[in-house]
Structure 1
Amino acid sequence: MSSRTKHGIKRASIILGTVVVYLLIWAGLTFLIAALGIRHFWGKISVSQMLTNLVSVQTDGGGGALVWMGIGFVGVLPIVLTIGIALFRRYLRRRRARRDTESRPRRSPWIGRSVSAVMVLALTIGGTSSFATTVGMGDYIRSASSPYDMADYYKDPKVTGDSHKNNIVTIYLESGEQTLADDQLFEKNAFESLQQATPESEGWQSVDSLQQYNGGGWTMAGLTSTQCGVPLKGSSSVLSSAGSSDSDGQGANYLGGLNCVGDVLGKHGYKNAFLGGANGSFAGKDKFLGGHGYTEEKDLSTWRNMGEPEKNFRSDWGLSDQRLMEHAKEEIDQLHAESEKTGQPFNLSMLTLDTHEPVHVYDYCNVDTKSDVTSVYACSMQQVAGYVDYMKEKGYLDDTAVVIMGDHLKHMSAGDAFHEELDNNPNRSIFNRVWVPGDKNSAPLRPRVDQLNMFPTLLEAAGLELENHEAGLGVSAFSPTVPEGSAQSLSPDAYSGLLDSLSSKFYARAWSGTKPED
């Protein structure tokens, strides 16, 4: 081999080694900054949460400034820092070269190279491990070897009767945690107005200590768990489904292999509608709704096209709860009138957003607490309470069931409020209220159920009769007991293991788009 060839190989090796080093630096910085950002804004999350939200983020009405911050800090900053490190090292080499021309004794280059190598490895390993811990990668890997499989416990809802159908309204409260009603922990009871609008003396009920399901904790997990009865998990299917560019959401495959609330009610003659203040495409919400029987969805683009003044929007998420509830009054007027005329019942669902941190204080909210968050919660609940009062005044509660519940517990990321009150609180639960016309509201609801049980509860509130009160992994809260052999009959440890399980074959079918009867 000629000396020129050897020199070329040596030079190529040096260039390749340099490229690898800077790729490792870039990767370490990217993972580290991403981990710090996630911890600050969302706390510790799961792989499923990352997948189902990352693929469909929106700069308008889907996080707004947070999206741009993510692009800047995670996408651009690591590149800038890596280039800066490269330029600094080049400066040091040139400076060292100039000194080498002097008569000073030369130090061994291996010392500097060893220190640099250790620093690069430390950055790469530290950044990667921080990110893996933040997104629960270890839990995700362990779930693949779980002995449990959700397919063994999942029950496709079987309706045995629908002769007593009710209209149904479901209101999801953003971060609606029951704990914030404790005026001993907080400056005031943030849910007081809504509690007064839904008194037990009039027949309203609650699931005592409604639990967030193990592994949940974000909006789409709250929606899918209560409407489909399973934890929200996925793999590459999520990327193709939630991230689909199909604009209207019709026929989209978001857990398309499962029968959910909209599917079941749709088959029994219901018209399904959804109202939300945020961008419907954020996290694939429009794909989920459009693929599960919802034929009408109104979101941020709808309200803008209707000419809502810009003052009624928050730049990061969307329309205020006050205006959303006003539109919801118009919506239920129309749906109820159509129902009386045609005999077709309706299912109206909606999702608030004022209480999504960082909270936005609208003009209609009087801040009378040291923490703006407490006042904003109270103001949001006042809007929902006003909507409940409106349904009462119009007589809609005579034939319309109402379920009000938080979509998840309040987030406890580094940038959120109430760490002192909630971090180590053992009694955290989700706020909920249930109204069912007729005599069914006299039966107490089973306490301490989790969100998965709300799937069959919603169907039964709508007046459908379910075989064994089961649907998905849940058993209706209207049933005082759970069937032997159901997921809900498992011991707490076994049930936790089931929810943690990857259940890859089950979710492959769930995301396949082929429903059980197809």
Structure 2
Amino acid sequence: MPSRFFSAPPISSWLPITVIGLCLGYAITVLTRLPWWTLFFFAMVWIGIGLKLRWGRPLNARYRKVWPWSLAPLSLWGIYVYLADSFGNVDLGAVFFHLQAGMAEHGGAGKLIIAVVYTLSMLAVLASVTWLSRHDQRWRLTERFLAIGLLASNPLLFGLGQRSAAVVADDADWLDHRYVAPPSSDQEDAPNLLLLYLESIERTYSDPQFGDAYSDLNRLGERGIVFEGVQQMENTGWTMAGMIASQCGVPLMPAGLLHDSQFEPLKSVVPGIDCLGDILAAQGYRLSYLGGASTEFAGKGLFYRGHGFQSVKGKEELERQLNDSEYVNSWGIYDDSLYDMTVDEIRRLEDADDGPWGVVNLSIAGHAPSGFPAQSCLDRQGPFDEQDILYSVECSAWLARKLIDRLEDEGLLDNTVVAIMSDHLTMRVSVWDQLTMLDRENTFMLIGDHLHPQRIQRDATMLDGFPTILEALGLSLEEHRAGLGTSLLSDQETLVERHGFETLNERLREESALQHRLWEGLAPQRRDTDTTPQEQVIETPADQTEEVDIMR
């Protein structure tokens, strides 16, 4: 028989068909809310069709050594499925920012193992597609059309196309025109500030279906102001972005091609704007940051040191203060140890009696996918199954309330505003399907002697946390605004209330001028802009039907 005619043994086609079927079924369950076990149903359907149509062993088979067109598109889809499986929602901004800001000391040993498994699985898929294309002329004819379909449907490429279009967009400064520089005026008898970021502890966990997981935060909320309706806009959905949104009033648009040295890490983070630390430092505040994870990861140390904080401590610095050097996790310091050190830091600042202080703290217990509950929680709640995120949510909430109680009992919160926030909505966890069926909200509450307990329902984003905290501290804001945010303590409309959540995200995808503002000083070339102060911008007919003054 001529060599070009090749009839493979029937059993030889089983393996590539089965590999593709299992991976396809898994991808479908990742990208939908279907339970994991349904992957076997999709795999069996795929295998059944393949056997029925004799994929890989057609009559009069003609073997040809070819390289399929679809290998690269399949690889890109593999990357997207991995990101969706790991984080729930794929945020290209997060990917680009972490590549430039640095991912050292990420603490994700488990993620590395998963990445290796994904890589091996994708190699098996690519080998299977190659085998079928070489042994079945029908696959050779159709897979090039498959390649086009894969490229056209990949959300990664769609997102890249949107960002590329923003470079030449006619209306690429819509957000920048609405940016309001924060105040610089002095204030008397300024209160202290304690800002607690609870990793991934969104207010959605207060829903009754999650039991008592959020109950300790509900109890804390009874002492102060609870803000309901704080949504998560694009480019604010990871830790550094959530911090910048709530401390600078802007979404974190990565430096991208503005960075003057593309192959080196960033040397500063959003240097073109003033943030909470800059404002408070100018008021004479002594500022400290303490976080359980490394400050080297995602530029946290660069951000805080570059925006007015005198003391910045993360995993590397705090490990040296532990009584038990082995009491750490893959990300860093457990929350009970972190909060003990936070109390010590506040005592130090109080004893110095040298003007107001501000302490920003980032917990770690609620970190996806299952959290890092502290030993004190294990002693209180019993054994941890290493899976249920609600166990870690309850731990994080309880430790936060315990910290506030402890500080109040010692008199360390006199004349102090306490802000408690989630840094962002959680990523993929064990109750992901239940969370995504609800209207998800970030945690945001304020506690202080002069703040009357109440619940405020507003359509807002984390951008509005920035001016809200400033007004709670007694600073006077022009039209109750700072950055792109609006104080939720005022009656002024937020950008979401004025324009709608979807419009805000759409405008962000088209924006380039705000990106230039954030990274001013890093761009090798910056387009000329009008340096005259902007007074007020009037809505265009495309924005609204009535001509009124807008929120710049």
* TM-score interval for Structure 1 and Structure 2 normalised by the shorter chain: 0.7 to 0.9
CA shift, 1:458, in A, is 1.8
SS at match of 2:251: coil
Is structure 2 residue 373 aligned with structure 1 residue 337?
Answer: no
Deviation track 1:236-258 (CA, whole Å, cap 9, x = no partner) reads 25766898557xxxxx3211101
Is structure 2 residue 48 aligned with structure 1 residue 32?
Answer: no
**Who is 2:182 aligned against?**
157
The 5 A counterparts of 1:221-260 are 221-237=241-257, 245=265, 252-260=267-275
**Who is 2:417 aligned against?**
401
**Who is 1:168 aligned against?**
193
CA distance in 2, matches of 1:361, 1:207: 26
Equivalent of 1:457 in 457, 464, 468: 468
CA distance in 2, matches of 1:388, 1:191: 16
**Who is 1:8 aligned against?**
none
Contact 2:459 2:496 in 1 (8 A): no
CA shift, 1:309, in A, is 3.4
CA distance in 1, matches of 2:324, 2:199: 23
CA distance in 1, matches of 2:113, 2:243: 26
CA distance in 2, matches of 1:263, 1:498: 30
Is structure 2 residue 328 aligned with structure 1 residue 313?
Answer: yes
SS at match of 2:399: helix
**Who is 2:36 aligned against?**
none
Deviation track 1:219-265 (CA, whole Å, cap 9, x = no partner) reads 1221111011111112425766898557xxxxx32111011111111
CA distance in 1, matches of 2:230, 2:92: 24
Q: 1:289 to 1:59 in 2, by over 3 A?
A: closer
What is the RMSD computed on CA atoms of the aligned residues? 3.6
Q: 1:472 to 1:138 in 2, by over 3 A?
A: same
Deviation track 1:464-484 (CA, whole Å, cap 9, x = no partner) reads 2222221101111222234xx
Q: Which amino acid aligns with 2:344?
A: E
Is structure 2 residue 417 aligned with structure 1 residue 392?
Answer: no
Contact 2:203 2:442 in 1 (8 A): yes
Is structure 2 residue 293 aligned with structure 1 residue 278?
Answer: yes
Equivalent of 2:236 in 213, 216, 232: 216
CA distance in 2, matches of 1:458, 1:333: 23
CA distance in 1, matches of 2:262, 2:360: 20
The 5 A counterparts of 1:100-499 are 112=137, 115-116=139-140, 118-119=142-143, 122=146, 124-125=147-148, 127-129=150-152, 131-133=154-156, 136-137=159-160, 139-140=162-163, 145=169, 147=171, 149-182=174-207, 184-186=208-210, 188-200=211-223, 204-237=224-257, 245=265, 252-307=267-322, 309=324, 311-315=326-330, 317-338=331-352, 340=353, 342-343=354-355, 345-359=356-370, 360-364=372-376, 365=378, 366-367=381-382, 372-411=388-427, 413=428, 416-426=429-439, 428-438=440-450, 440-441=451-452, 447-482=458-493, 487=495, 490-492=498-500, 495-496=503-504, 499=507
Deviation track 1:488-518 (CA, whole Å, cap 9, x = no partner) reads 663326852565343212212311248999x
Deviation track 1:293-333 (CA, whole Å, cap 9, x = no partner) reads 12221111112333453553222x22111111111111111
Deviation track 1:133-167 (CA, whole Å, cap 9, x = no partner) reads 58744654565647362111000112344123111
Identity %: 24
CA distance in 1, matches of 2:145, 2:433: 37
CA distance in 1, matches of 2:188, 2:469: 16
Contact 2:334 2:364 in 1 (8 A): yes
CA shift, 1:120, in A, is 5.3
Q: Which amino acid aligns with 2:178?
A: Y
Contact 1:276 1:352 in 2 (8 A): yes
User: What TM-score, normalized to structure 2?
Assistant: 0.72
* Bigger shift: residues 191-200 or 216-225: 191-200
Contact 2:294 2:315 in 1 (8 A): yes
Is structure 2 residue 530 aligned with structure 1 residue 502?
Answer: no
Contact 2:255 2:519 in 1 (8 A): no
* Bigger shift: residues 128-137 or 143-152: 128-137
**Who is 1:5 aligned against?**
none
SS at match of 1:289: helix
Report which structure shows greater RCO (CA 8 Å, sep ≥6).
Answer: 1
Contact 1:277 1:324 in 2 (8 A): yes
The 5 A counterparts of 1:10-25 are 21=67
Contact 2:293 2:364 in 1 (8 A): yes
Contact 1:460 1:476 in 2 (8 A): yes
* Bigger shift: residues 206-215 or 260-269: 206-215
Contact 1:275 1:351 in 2 (8 A): yes
SS at match of 1:297: strand
Gaps of at least 5 residues in structure 1 are 1-17, 94-110, 247-251
Q: 1:302 to 1:490 in 2, by over 3 A?
A: same
SS at match of 2:413: helix
CA distance in 2, matches of 1:474, 1:20: 56
**Who is 1:66 aligned against?**
111
**Who is 2:519 aligned against?**
511
Q: 1:134 to 1:408 in 2, by over 3 A?
A: farther
Gaps of at least 5 residues in structure 2 are 1-63, 524-530, 533-552
User: What TM-score, normalized to structure 1?
Assistant: 0.77
Q: Which amino acid aligns with 2:239?
A: T
SS at match of 2:230: coil
Q: Which amino acid aligns with 1:151?
A: D
Q: 1:305 to 1:134 in 2, by over 3 A?
A: farther
